[in-house]
Amino acid sequence: MKHDLAIRGGTLATATETYRADIGIRAGRIVTIAEAVTDADDVIDATNRIVMPGGIEAHCHIAQESGMGVMTSDDYLSGSMSAAFGGNSCFVPFAAQNKGESLANTIQRYDGRAAPKSVLDWSYHLILTDPTPDVLAELPEVFAKGVTSFKVFMTYATRVSDAQFLDILSVAGKHGGLTMVHAENHDMLDWMGRRMVDGGNVAPRYHAPSRPGLAEGEAINRAISLARLAQAPLFIVHVSTPVGAKLVAEARANGGQVWAETCPQYLSLTREDLDKPGMEGAKFICSPPLRDTATQAALWQHVQGGSLSLVSSDHAPYRYDETGKFHAGKDVNFRQIANGMPGIEMRLPLLFSEGVTKGRISLNQFVALSSTNAARIYGMLPRKGTLSIGADADIAIWDPNQTRIAGEMHDNMDYNPFAGIEVTGWPVTVLGRGRRIVEGRELMAKPGDGLFVKRATVDLTGQPGHPVPELDPAQNFGANLS
């Protein structure tokens, strides 16, 4: 068979296994995996390289206004470019509904931002901020269009009530949508935040105690309880505490469809970074906040043991200036500083280096955590996230031995919170549908090369998901849980 492109000589790594093979690509798809693929117009030599499914960044904020109204510094060009240089060939930013806006309109608005600029294939997670009955009624159509996941907040101005959450979960569960949730107890955060500020504790370092782990544990427990009642699948974003990870694992062992992710910052940084002098700590303000080293170690164990299914960046690029972190001025308390840090380009190298290179996780776990699990959970398997026949040729070619000190990235940011960390293992070539997006230090793709990815609904007959029975009105939900 004739191929457009062959990747030869590499070691293939999937979520399952590592083996020697060549890959043959035609019309953007993998059409052959074989001992030797010879008949190709173009060849990439992957000798001494690892050939993996390109990363799928499943949690990032691109061309999106924050809850505080601050626009991210990255648009779909700089954001997708930075992601590509970090080994990703697909990403799923958020499309945030405005109050009063139809979801169709939200998607259309974001299409206008993404389509002309993205060098990566993309999809959206919607952010539901206004779950009116009309909006809930619109959800099945949105799922049918391929936007099959959406996020709600349990904190911020955009938070949903438990009642709204139940209605949302119920609709989503019935129609195969996956509800994602930012789980922190709003009132606990607000109460602590006000206490801190009222007590004159306004420096960035007070961000951490203002958002206690208790607030995350409480909210995760509540979200799982609501999902169990509504019989809907649930995904907990950016888990930062062992108690949260444990609740997720227990829910699954008790028959629930509950998954979760953590982020590199919770595995690599600590709240001591918030103690940096002056306003420097502002660079490390994200939510949930950075925790302590014992928490970090325990989270690694949950990553190793499978409690957590993804490591996502939560790339939220607000510059260290008045357009970003200090949109409300420089002389502010920590509550007025934009929450979030960049990391879309660091996610895979950091996870590889701290995980695979340091022997904490296997290479195959790396693939699962960075790509395949995202594809499965978010309905892109087997098109994305895998090296298999028929799949998009979304491929990252990796040099496991390259060592660099993290420094400036390709995003539109003015700082890198991970700067200075020695990282071993970097991508050298990244393909999207068989095209080179990045080769070495060169961007090969052009703005608009990326395509929208239509995603499947949650597979109710398999993993993730199983048949959602009708609610039995006579069932005694949880009466005798012990």
The interface with a copy of itself within residues 366-385 (CB under 8 A) comprises 372, 376, 381-382
Residue closer to a copy of itself, measured from CB, 198 or 331: 198
Residue closer to a copy of itself, measured from CB, 105 or 388: 388
186 interacts with a copy of itself by CB under 8 A: yes
Residue closer to a copy of itself, measured from CB, 163 or 405: 163
Question: Token pair 């060169």 is at which residue?
Answer: 442
Interacting residue with a copy of itself among 277, 329, 440, 461 (CB under 8 A) = 461
Residue closer to a copy of itself, measured from CB, 113 or 174: 174
Residue closer to a copy of itself, measured from CB, 144 or 389: 389
- CA–CA separation, 117 and 168 (whole Å): 32
- CA–CA separation, 133 and 129 (whole Å): 13
133 interacts with a copy of itself by CB under 8 A: no
Interacting residue with a copy of itself among 4, 190, 272, 280 (CB under 8 A) = 190
CB of 49 to a copy of itself, least distance (A): 16
Interacting residue with a copy of itself among 361, 374, 396, 423 (CB under 8 A) = 361
Query: Any bridge partners for residue 182, and if so which?
Result: 153
Extract the tokens encoding 34: 């074989």
Query: Which residues inside 14-33 make contact with a copy of itself, applying CB under 8 A?
Result: 14-21, 24, 31-33
206 interacts with a copy of itself by CB under 8 A: yes
Interacting residue with a copy of itself among 66, 72, 123, 241 (CB under 8 A) = 241
245 interacts with a copy of itself by CB under 8 A: yes
Interacting residue with a copy of itself among 195, 330, 404, 446 (CB under 8 A) = 195
CB of 461 to a copy of itself, least distance (A): 5
391 interacts with a copy of itself by CB under 8 A: yes
Sheet of 395-405: strands edge to edge? 18-20, 11-13, 50-53, 395-405, 422-432, 435-439, 442-443
CB of 306 to a copy of itself, least distance (A): 6
Interacting residue with a copy of itself among 103, 348, 363, 393 (CB under 8 A) = 363
Query: Which residues inside 256-295 make contact with a copy of itself, applying CB under 8 A?
Result: 256, 271, 291-292, 294-295
Contact 374, 366 (CB under 8 A): no
CB of 189 to a copy of itself, least distance (A): 10
CB of 305 to a copy of itself, least distance (A): 4
Using CB under 8 A as the binding criterion, the count of chain residues that bind a copy of itself stands at 111
- CA–CA separation, 270 and 290 (whole Å): 5
Residue 314 phi, psi dihedral angles, 5° rounding: 50, 40
CB of 299 to a copy of itself, least distance (A): 9
Contact 44, 51 (CB under 8 A): no
Residue closer to a copy of itself, measured from CB, 91 or 300: 300
471 interacts with a copy of itself by CB under 8 A: yes
47 interacts with a copy of itself by CB under 8 A: no
Residue closer to a copy of itself, measured from CB, 47 or 475: 475
359 interacts with a copy of itself by CB under 8 A: yes
Contact 279, 423 (CB under 8 A): no
Query: Which residues inside 69-128 make contact with a copy of itself, applying CB under 8 A?
Result: none
Query: Which residues inside 296-355 make contact with a copy of itself, applying CB under 8 A?
Result: 298, 300-302, 304-307
462 interacts with a copy of itself by CB under 8 A: yes
Interacting residue with a copy of itself among 55, 177, 204, 212 (CB under 8 A) = 212
CB of 82 to a copy of itself, least distance (A): 28
Residue closer to a copy of itself, measured from CB, 1 or 157: 1
Interacting residue with a copy of itself among 69, 255, 277, 329 (CB under 8 A) = 255
